[in-house]
């Protein structure tokens, strides 16, 4: 088996030159050229020969190669048709890799996992995600409630901080709640822009999202819960009460909103970023019950 690993500047340039490949800015293509980082990710995730690995956006196969070396099976989703012949070449020695030419946002990932899954096999999603579409991809995968143990993704540092944030932090917001409702979020490492080709304008982080067996709170209606959370962060500098008055508009007046807040013991002069998930659940359930009456 070849010892010339893909994730080096020299080998990456050789592959790009061979195929005359040019980066598409619209697809947010930044290829990793540091093998050590990839090996650290594999180690942190705990990928081994019992693992089914799902990758999104394999590019020329830098991470895919490392996954193939350590995992039982690898399924990689690639949207850019120009990369298919390159992947066929760079990954030809690995029989345990299947490349699917499809936009992950349109894919039935649950079905493909079930078609490949062996009994008691852990599934890990590992990806170097394009910055411009990180949130839609992760939101879709989390809401699909896939049989996945963890999602480990290389994303923009600022977005990773938002997903892993705690209350009373400027990074804490509706995205934090959405991600942490489904997973435990942890930033594993920060990654400089210099390990990518071409170099992006921002630094990256590797974020691990470990799937929860159950959400940390009980809510009457998930969609309603998330919409209330978003409403509370609509204008960050405004109080909880003012954001809720704006959100409910004609449904409840300020007085009724104050009554409900008082009933559940939440001070309406607080800001959204000061509430923990339990308090958001309490808030959403109270307004949901009021709407049911």
Mark the binding-site residues, compressed into ranges: 30, 32, 57, 78, 103, 128
Judge contact between 124 and 149, C-beta under 8 A. yes
Classify burial at 209, counting beta carbons within 10 Å of its beta carbon; exposed 0-12, middle 13-18, buried 19 or more: buried
Interacting residues of 269 by C-beta distance below 8 A, sequence separation 6+ = 239, 240, 241
DSSP for 141-178, written as a single string: HHHTT-S-SEEEEEEEHHHHHHHT--SSSTT-SHHHHH
Q: Record the tokens describing residue 11, joined without a space.
A: 């080998």
- CA distances (Å), 244 to each of 82, 186, 272, in order? 48, 30, 10
- CA distances (Å), 251 to each of 55, 248, 255, 290, in order? 45, 5, 12, 11
Reference 33, options 12, 58, 57; nearest CA is 12
Q: Which residues are annotated as a binding site for S-adenosyl-L-methionine?
A: 30, 32, 57, 78, 103, 128
* C-alpha–C-alpha distance, residues 158 and 147, integer Å: 28
- CA distances (Å), 125 to each of 49, 52, 137, 204, 227, in order? 15, 9, 12, 18, 27
Interacting residues of 92 by C-beta distance below 8 A, sequence separation 6+ = none
Q: What is the DSSP letter of 100?
A: E
> 3-state class of 101 per DSSP?
strand
């Amino acid at each position: 088996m070849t010892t010339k690993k893909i994730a080096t500047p020299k080998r990456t340039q050789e592959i790009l030159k061979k195929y005359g490949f040019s980066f598409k800015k619209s697809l947010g293509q930044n290829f990793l050229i540091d093998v050590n980082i990839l090996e650290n990710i594999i180690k942190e995730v705990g990928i081994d020969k019992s693992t089914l690995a799902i990758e999104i956006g394999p590019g020329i196969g830098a991470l895919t190669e490392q996954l193939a070396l350590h995992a039982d099976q690898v399924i990689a989703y690639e949207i850019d048709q120009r990369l298919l012949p390159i992947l066929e070449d760079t990954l030809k020695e690995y029989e345990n890799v299947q490349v699917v030419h499809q936009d992950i946002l349109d894919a039935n990932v649950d079905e493909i996992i079930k078609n490949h899954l062996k009994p008691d096999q852990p599934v890990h999603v590992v990806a170097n995600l394009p910055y411009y579409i990180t949130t839609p991809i992760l939101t879709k995968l989390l809401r699909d409630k896939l049989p996945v143990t963890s999602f480990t993704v290389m994303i923009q540092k600022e977005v990773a901080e938002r997903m892993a944030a705690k209350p009373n932090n400027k990074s804490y917001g509706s995205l934090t709640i959405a991600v942490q409702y489904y997973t435990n979020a942890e930033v594993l490492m920060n990654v400089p822009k210099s390990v990518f080709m071409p170099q992006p304008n921002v630094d990256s982080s590797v974020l691990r999202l470990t799937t929860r067996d159950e959400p940390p709170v009980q809510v009457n209606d998930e969609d309603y819960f998330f919409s209330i959370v978003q409403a509370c962060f609509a204008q960050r500098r405004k109080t909880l009460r003012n954001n809720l008055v704006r959100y409910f508009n004609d449904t409840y007046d300020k007085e009724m909103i104050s009554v409900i807040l008082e009933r559940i013991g939440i001070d309406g002069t607080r800001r959204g970023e000061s509430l923990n998930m339990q308090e958001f659940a309490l808030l959403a359930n109270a307004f949901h019950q009021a709407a049911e009456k």
